[in-house]
Amino acid sequence: MRLLFVCNVEEKELNRQEAPGTCPHCGGKVEAVDCGHKWRFCFVTICNVMKRSYKCSRCSKRLEVLYS
């Protein structure tokens, strides 16, 4: 007997704003993007996570923040 689990992941962009700094690859402006992720199992929300990522507005590469 096999069980089938259906999971749904929704991703929604909540906010986009200019961040300080420039892209090391092309020199474009950096944007901070806030995204909300909802993980659902059979129409019941299991987890609701909000994450911030940084992307270049010119070349669209994902950037990482390094703390020193």
Q: Average pLDDT of the chain?
A: 84
Assess whether pLDDT exceeds 80 at residue 67. no
What contacts 29, CB < 8 A, 6 or more positions away?
Answer: 18, 22, 23, 56, 57, 58
pLDDT in tens, 44-66: 777 788 899 999 999 989 988 87
pLDDT in tens, 25-49: 999 999 999 999 888 777 777 778 8
* pTM of this structure: 0.68
